[in-house]
Structure formats: C-alpha cells, structure tokens
C-alpha cells in the first residue's frame, strides 16, 4: 500500500532558530516544483501580493507526469539561487495512478532535499469536482476517445485516488516531522465532502480558478514561516 511506502522511517528536525534571527538574514528562497498550478498562480508574484519581501519565490514546471525527479535534481544541484525550501506539488491529472510508486518517489525526494539542507514541503493534491468525471466522459465521447479509460465515471475513481494519496501524505508528514501545504483542505467543501468546490473550479472541474488562487495566497505564508524555522534547524 501507499501507506507502507510513505511511512517508512522516522525523524524530526532539531531546534529551530528564532523567527527574528531568520528575518534579519537574506530573504528565504522558495521554489515550487509543480504543473499548471504554479504558472497560473503566478507563484513568483506572491510575495508582492501579500507584502512579504522576506521571501523570494520561484516556479519550476516539473513536467507532464508525476515524476519530478529530473527537475528536482536540476534545482538541488544548481550553483545559483539555491533554494531554502522546495514545495513539491502534483496535479490531479496524474490520478488514478500507481500510488505505491508515487509514495516511493515522494519519500526519496524528501530525503534528497533534507540531505542537502533544504526543507521539503509536500503539498496535498487539489481534488476534482463531483461533476468532473461526467464532464470528462462526455468530452471523451465528443473527441472519439475511450470514455471508460478511467473506469465508471460515477465511481469517482480519480478523486478517490487523490484522497487516498493525500491521506497517506499527511500520515507520512507527521511521521517525518514535515510541514505540508494542504491545498485540499483549503478548496474542498468540508472534511466529509472532499470534492473541489464548484465555485473554485474551471469549467473542466479539474483545475482551480482565480478565486481559488487568491484563497491559496492566504495560506502559503504561515506554512512557509513554519518551514523557515526548519530551514534554520538543518543548517
């Protein structure tokens, strides 16, 4: 199970630097490695939008598949603009998928970051809307594609897979002492209705809209402030 793949090992970070000490240093360099969300979000413009010059943010497109290894390694080993924090974000389009393999990859990326003194922040995957599978089913028919490629659209296999991954990610993060960026919690209806809110989705029910991005702006800085303490802990 994904649980086994992502819950191996244990550990936590040592004592953090005081917030005042870190704020007096150079700005914290944050890199988001993801898919369309980083580009559409204008992640690099977030510090200006929320008036936080103590952060520098950068978006790297990780490719069109779950595996972000190539881009991650480019960021980890570059000579300039070395990140203090890396946010690892995946897209709902990669689900359903091999959750065992996804868990192993994430666990490896986290360890690679920590071994180089960089704080990893895994992000939960944004869910899809309740109507998304039906919309996809109809689009597939119109485009002459197999509408049953992802199974019965009424079983919500994509969202179920996303939620299983997110739950395992949270358990993994607790075991490893990681801060996470919980995107799912911000854009779903509730803890019991975990579909993407319709008012936060684009027409396809797979991607989030401008309103959702503005909401996400508000949750990033508290997460980064906590993680920035971790950055001081592993220097």
Reported confidence tier of residue 15, pLDDT bands at 50, 70, 90: very low
Its sign, for the CA torsion 145, 151, 155, 156, is negative
Please give the residue range of the domain that contains residue 98: 2-128+159-198+210-233
- Report helix, strand or coil for 147: coil
Dump pLDDT digits (tens) for 38-77: 678 999 999 999 999 999 999 999 988 999 999 999 999 9
The CATH number covering residue 186 comes to 3.40.50.1110
Global confidence as pTM: 0.84
Question: How many domains does one find in the chain?
Answer: 1
Q: How far is CA 12 from CA 15, 18, 19, 31, 199, in A?
A: 10, 17, 19, 22, 38
- Report helix, strand or coil for 104: helix
Dump pLDDT digits (tens) for 206-230: 999 999 999 999 999 999 999 887 6
Query: What's the chain's length in residues?
Result: 235
- Residues with Cβ within 8 Å of 39's Cβ and at least 6 positions away in sequence, in order, are 59, 61
Region class of 31: left (phi > 0), else alpha (psi between -120 and 50), else beta: beta
φ/ψ of 178, rounded to 5, equals -95, 145
Dump pLDDT digits (tens) for 91-100: 999 999 999 9
Q: Cβ distance 138 to 164 under 8 Å?
A: no
Question: Is residue 9 included in any domain, yes or no?
Answer: yes
Question: Is residue 43 included in any domain, yes or no?
Answer: yes
Its sign, for the CA torsion 76, 81, 87, 88, is negative
Q: Which two tokens stand for residue 142?
A: 């119109």
Question: Is residue 143 included in any domain, yes or no?
Answer: no
Question: Is residue 141 included in any domain, yes or no?
Answer: no
CA 50 from centroid of its chain's CA atoms: 20
Question: Is residue 186 included in any domain, yes or no?
Answer: yes
Question: Is residue 96 included in any domain, yes or no?
Answer: yes
Question: Is residue 150 included in any domain, yes or no?
Answer: no
In the predicted model, what is the mean pLDDT of residues 178-183? 97
Q: Cβ distance 217 to 184 under 8 Å?
A: no
Question: Is residue 180 included in any domain, yes or no?
Answer: yes
Q: Where are the alpha helices (DSSP H) in the chain?
A: 2-6, 19-23, 36-41, 46-49, 69-76, 99-115, 132-142, 157-176, 183-187, 210-233
């Amino acid at each position: 199970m994904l649980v086994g793949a992502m819950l191996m090992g244990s550990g936590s970070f040592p004592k953090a630097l005081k917030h005042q000490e870190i704020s007096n240093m150079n700005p914290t360099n944050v890199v988001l490695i993801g898919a369309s969300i980083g580009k559409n979000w204008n992640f690099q413009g977030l510090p200006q939008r929320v008036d936080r010059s103590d952060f520098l943010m950068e978006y790297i497109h990780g490719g069109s598949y779950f595996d972000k290894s190539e881009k991650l390694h480019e960021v980890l080993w570059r000579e300039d603009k070395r990140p203090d924090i890396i946010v690892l974000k995946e897209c709902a389009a990669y689900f359903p998928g091999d959750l065992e393999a996804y868990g192993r990859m994430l666990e490896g990326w986290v360890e690679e970051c920590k071994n180089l003194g960089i704080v990893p922040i895994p992000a939960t995957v944004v869910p899809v809307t309740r109507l998304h599978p039906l919309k996809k089913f109809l689009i597939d028919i119109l485009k002459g594609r197999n509408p049953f490629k992802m199974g019965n659209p009424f079983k919500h296999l994509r969202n179920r897979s996303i939620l299983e991954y997110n739950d395992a990610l949270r358990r993994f993060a607790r075991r490893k002492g990681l801060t996470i960026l919980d995107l799912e919690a911000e854009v779903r209806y509730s803890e019991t209705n975990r579909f993407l809110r319709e008012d936060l989705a684009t027409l396809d029910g797979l991607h989030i809209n401008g309103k959702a991005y503005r909401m996400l702006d508000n949750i990033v800085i508290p997460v980064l402030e906590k993680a920035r303490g971790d950055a001081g802990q592993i220097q």
